[in-house]
Amino acid sequence: MRESSLNAPFEPVDQPADGPRLNRRQAAKVRTRQKVLDAARDLFSERGYDPATIRDIAKGAGMSTGAVFANFQDKAELFEAVLAENMERLTEVVRASAASSGPVKERLTTALDAGYHHTMGHLPLMQAIVARSWFQPQQAEQRARGFTKGLLSVIGEVLRDGVRSGELKQDVDTRLVGDMVWDSWLTNYRGAAYDGWDEKALSERLSRQLDVILAGAAAKG
Amino acid sequence: MRESSLNAPFEPVDQPADGPRLNRRQAAKVRTRQKVLDAARDLFSERGYDPATIRDIAKGAGMSTGAVFANFQDKAELFEAVLAENMERLTEVVRASAASSGPVKERLTTALDAGYHHTMGHLPLMQAIVARSWFQPQQAEQRARGFTKGLLSVIGEVLRDGVRSGELKQDVDTRLVGDMVWDSWLTNYRGAAYDGWDEKALSERLSRQLDVILAGAAAKG
């Protein structure tokens, strides 16, 4: 019975197009898991990591804590699932906004501003993501790098286009410069968290950081 | 009885030169507090924040947990005291190494490499400092900014010297560029934490970041 998924504009979450068909019981399990994930995302987005308890996540999903633990080993695993989902959507948003041609700075600001726009509604989640990235087991770090790989490659593509078009110097280390762009983008969330920066302030700050970073990478006209 | 502190090369911690004289009981209290602080610093330096328990800190100081709580309200307050002390020493180290004249990049790398050298022995403490900076109450954030103010002002002085000497452009935003230098320095600790970067690797990375940042700020020769 794949009809609904063939006709629907988006694949329903319990019936992935490229996965095996699920029987009723398996489909119910996937739905339950997604319900927990949705409740966890809501709570992490509102409170961050530490103050979000499994108890409240279960409550948000309308389940027992036992049902949560039947799906996720612990809060760390639940957070990682939310992180993976979050980074996937963010990467899509940023990639779509970077797709146009044009000068490097314009493409980067358009793409990364879209990233701010997409994430500012869940600032505590973003803070928790960065905070946890500073103290996690090596394996979790390696998985987390997998989740940000797509975003870094979007930035890298724009920079490499800039090198190809002659806008940037031929010997620019696009990997290093890409990391610096990404770190600047991310660091600015501290201004949102503690100084009340809104999207406009974040965007202005990023624009000035990009001016500094790209000025050193620009081919002399 | 200030004789010992007058003769000693350093002021003993229980008798600050600019504070009031302490009677025997007060001095014992200050010593106890310092003992707790030393044990806490050791444990945070070894494990970071979450895995360092008050119980183990008390054990390290040879005291009861009650004695710890008589001096510090909670682990967060204890961590802040360690942070304040750590940043004060780090600022001294960096300031002393930046004191010489010379080109901006040379002064910054010398100063900030000294910072890496001073801190690499307690990497988990540095990780915990950054992680916590992403999720703390507004008042704790404001106090933490007070602790890093000295370090940022050292970087700012070097940059402003560069503007005065004509090495950097007259209209460089030294505040923004200083923040970017500081953020680059700090972000590199993730490489130390997860990629095994040693002092040399940190220093090389910082050097390349400074090349990008300062290239945009340099006056055209």
Q: Do B134 and A190 touch (CB under 8 A)?
A: yes
Closest chain A residue to B205 measured between Cα atoms? A176
* Domain-ending residue, one of B38, B71, B104: B71
**A170 exposure class (CB count in 10 Å sphere: 0-12, 13-18, 19+):** exposed
Q: Which pLDDT band, with edges at 50, 70 and 90, does A4 fall under?
A: very low
In a domain, A167, yes or no: yes
Domain span at B25: 18-71
pLDDT tens for each residue of B39-63: 999 999 999 999 999 999 999 999 9
A82 and A27 in one domain? Answer: no
Nearest one of B54, B111, B115 to B86, comparing CA atoms? B115
A187 and A165 in one domain? Answer: yes
CATH of the domain at B122: 1.10.357.10
Nearest to A176 among B49, B193, B212 (CB): B212
As a whole number, mean pLDDT of residues B117-138 equals 95
Q: Do B180 and A177 touch (CB under 8 A)?
A: no
A201 and A154 in one domain? Answer: yes
As a whole number, mean pLDDT of residues A69-79 equals 95
A84 and A49 in one domain? Answer: no
Q: Which pLDDT band, with edges at 50, 70 and 90, does A9 fall under?
A: very low
Closest chain A residue to B140 measured between Cα atoms? A194
Q: Do A127 and B141 touch (CB under 8 A)?
A: no
Q: Do A190 and B130 touch (CB under 8 A)?
A: no
Q: Which pLDDT band, with edges at 50, 70 and 90, does B6 fall under?
A: very low
Nearest to A131 among B134, B173, B209 (CB): B134
A97 and A146 in one domain? Answer: yes
B98 and B81 in one domain? Answer: yes
Size of interface A-B (CB pairs under 8 A): 75
Please provide the DSSP assignment of A85-149 as one string.
HHHHHHHHHHHHHH-S-S-HHHHHHHHHHHHHHHHGGGHHHHHHHHHHHTS--HHHHHHHHHHHH
Nearest to A180 among B49, B130, B212 (CB): B212
Q: How many domains does the structure of chain B reveal?
A: 2
- Contacts with B68 (C-beta within 8 Å, 6 or more apart), sequence order: B36, B54, B57, B58, B61, B78
- Predicted local distance difference test score (pLDDT) of residue A18: 63
Nearest one of B126, B114, B100 to B192, comparing CA atoms? B126
CATH of the domain at A45: 1.10.10.60
pLDDT tens for each residue of B64-88: 999 999 999 999 999 999 999 999 9
As a whole number, mean pLDDT of residues A148-167 equals 96
pLDDT tens for each residue of A26-68: 888 899 999 999 999 999 999 999 999 999 999 999 999 999 9
As a whole number, mean pLDDT of residues B150-172 equals 96
Nearest to A213 among B50, B190, B212 (CB): B212
**Average pLDDT over chain A, rounded to whole?**
90
The complex's ipTM? 0.87
pLDDT tens for each residue of A76-122: 999 999 999 999 999 999 999 997 789 999 999 999 999 999 999 99
Q: Which pLDDT band, with edges at 50, 70 and 90, does A3 fall under?
A: very low
A160 and A115 in one domain? Answer: yes
Q: Do A177 and B208 touch (CB under 8 A)?
A: no
As a whole number, mean pLDDT of residues B6-26 equals 60
Residues of chain B found within 8 Å of residue A75, distances taken between Cβ atoms: none
B135 and B82 in one domain? Answer: yes
Nearest one of B46, B42, B194, B192 to B115, comparing CA atoms? B192
Q: Do B130 and A132 touch (CB under 8 A)?
A: no
